[in-house]
Amino acid sequence: MDRGFGFPRWVPLLLGLFILVGCASVPPLANQRQFRFGQDTFAYQNELVWEYTFTVDGHWLARRREPPPDYTLHCFAMVRTARQFFYHARFDPTLPTADEAMYRERVQEVSARSPREPSPEAERVVIPGYADLFAFSADWEPLLKDESGGAWRSYFQRGHWRMIFPFSRSHQAETAEQLLAEVRANRPPVVHLVTFPSRTINHAVLIFSAMETPAGLVFAVYDPNNAHQPTELTFDWAKQTFTFPRNDYFIGGPVDVYEIYRGMWY
């Protein structure tokens, strides 16, 4: 399934048997700049296995896409890699472009670093010949897809155990405050969107900015299923509930949210 990926029901249950404790978080450290959609994002996107048609009564019909797309079930791999570049790479368009072997080595170095802590500016991996990830990925799409990791990153991200336990409204309010703090520190959080035990959505996105309103928070989101424009994740203080909008793979509505690639257990 594409909501944004599906996996057998036993996977989160198995993970839950091994890990039954809460999050051990790390103190937030600020980055020097804000994550930028269209520059720190990829020129390509995670493709959908299914095509959905929404009915007037709020249900959907689905059929497999034909021909089958080549790059699917990589939402976790894509948002993780986008933040890896934001945390650990420095693009320098003034340097000459390199060959495939050098770029592959640099991408591997970026991918191998911690997904939870940014590198100091002076220690970042230099990507020569390009101004940003978007331009780099437009020219080197196969290489980046190859080095970002397979669909297994979506199935076996170590924080999946959390989805099988209930999300209280107070927990979601605390999460909203945490995400706001992360964004303000220029540490764009990667979050898992779920409706477990329903599987209407099971997806990873990256939050890169936030706006406070009288009713709650509006987070700007990089959805790896859409390379062309950002989307929004909203939080209502009164209902203490996150809402994700309707799109090509989700009918829209309340979702539970928790941050991943943060701390020991996520």
Predicted TM-score (pTM) of the model is 0.86
Within 8 A by CB and 6+ apart from 128, the residues are 92, 95, 96, 97, 98
Judged against a pLDDT cut of 70, whether residue 226 lies above it is answered with: yes
- Domain locations along the chain: 10-16+34-260
For residues 187 and 59, the model is more confident at: 187
Judged against a pLDDT cut of 60, whether residue 1 lies above it is answered with: no
Judged against a pLDDT cut of 90, whether residue 101 lies above it is answered with: yes
Would you give the DSSP letter of residue 120?
P
Mean pLDDT across 212-223: 98
* Strand (E) or helix (H) holding 105: helix 100-112
Q: What is the pLDDT of residue 67?
A: 82
Identify the CA nearest to 193 among candidates 128, 149, 259, 137. 259
Confidence of residue 221 (pLDDT cuts 50, 70, 90): very high
Confidence of residue 214 (pLDDT cuts 50, 70, 90): very high
Q: What percent of the chain has pLDDT over 70?
A: 84
Per residue in 73-84, pLDDT (tens digit) is 999 999 999 999
Mean pLDDT across 122-149: 97
Per residue in 112-124, pLDDT (tens digit) is 999 999 999 999 9
Mean pLDDT across 7-27: 45
Q: What is the pLDDT of residue 265?
A: 82
Q: In one letter, which amino acid is 60?
A: W
Judged against a pLDDT cut of 70, whether residue 12 lies above it is answered with: no
Q: What is the pLDDT of residue 201?
A: 92
Q: What are phi and psi of 130, to 5 degrees?
A: -140, 150
For residues 103 and 59, the model is more confident at: 103
Give Dmax over CA atoms of the chain in angstroms.
56
Identify the CA nearest to 190 among candidates 164, 215, 166, 224. 224
Confidence of residue 9 (pLDDT cuts 50, 70, 90): low
Confidence of residue 53 (pLDDT cuts 50, 70, 90): confident
Q: Write down the mean pLDDT value for the chain.
A: 87
Q: In one letter, which amino acid is 81?
A: T
Q: Omega into 118 within 30° of 0, i.e. cis?
A: no
